[in-house]
Structure 1
Amino acid sequence: MALSMYEVSIPVFIRGLTNLSAILEKGAAHAQAQGTDSSDLIQTRLISDMDALPAQIQRASDSAKGCAARLAGIDIPSYADDEVTFPELQARIAKTIGFLKSIRPEQLEGSETRTVELKLRSGPVTFDGKSYLLGFALPNFYFHVTTAYDILRHKGVQIGKMDFLGAPR
């Protein structure tokens, strides 16, 4: 049996966001253990021209929910991008996971050939669903999850590769 578009998207996004949530928990615990203001950790960026931690979480969320909705042919949920605390970031992740869990496998049937158009800063880009998922959405999602991980690791949060990957399933 071939892999379905559902199998290579929704569970993958849910797992990545679940692992990201666990990494954020360790970030919050680190700030508390160090007696530092968590907002200092949250406002960290790797370099001045990159977004801080909240934007990384928001873009990971946007990538996952946007991909799921586009492939399912439904409206993309709109979130305000106003999270500035660890609990707010956790709520964003939970809301995204909740949306992803509402997507049924049959909604993605045939989505590998669905036309997906994105309006990027550089102009519109058109994909078929399979190319969009594998060549754009998943890499974009993992870029932002990895950057969030890197920000926290850079600030001394004790996380490692298995935190990023999560428990084997």
Structure 2
Amino acid sequence: VVDEAFADVAPEVSLLALPALPPGVVVLRSLGKFFGLAGLRVGVVAVAEANAPAWRQRLGDWPVAGPACVIATAALTDAGWIAAMRARLAADRRRLDALLAAGGIAPCGGTDLFVLAEGPAGIDLVDHFARAGILVRGFAGAPGRIRVGLPGAEAEWSRLAAAIDLIPRRCAAAAR
């Protein structure tokens, strides 16, 4: 089972680019992440043709409302919007990488929708950002790592930059 919820930003990594899926492989896709249509509740289960009858039987009818089908079709076929959004997200990702790195937070993975990063030792970055009104995802098994989504508006970029600017002071205080 491959969850390709983030594959729309990099279609070259999608298994759906293959001529045919191998038997037994299940690909899950959603319009929620890239297209911003989470409320539409449109998703896809893609399997090899030989596996399709079993999945049809397992899932049964999964009706999607007519208006949702129209919106989903328009989103999936708007090549100009898709190309422009991919370019914008890639530029925003580079900007976020640079902003984090300037504050001593090392990007170490992610997609063009979010950055996985490693922070300086001794700083609880989840708490630090929460105090600035910024939610980031922390990881219990890797307390120095966070996942940061792309800010939307310029005011959000500024708030993130201001919070990052405070990190060296917190590092100095933690070292005392």
Question: TM-score, normalised on structure 1?
Answer: 0.30
* Higher alpha-carbon Rg: 2
Q: Which has the higher strand share?
A: 2
Question: TM-score, normalised on structure 2?
Answer: 0.29
Q: Which has the higher helix share?
A: 1
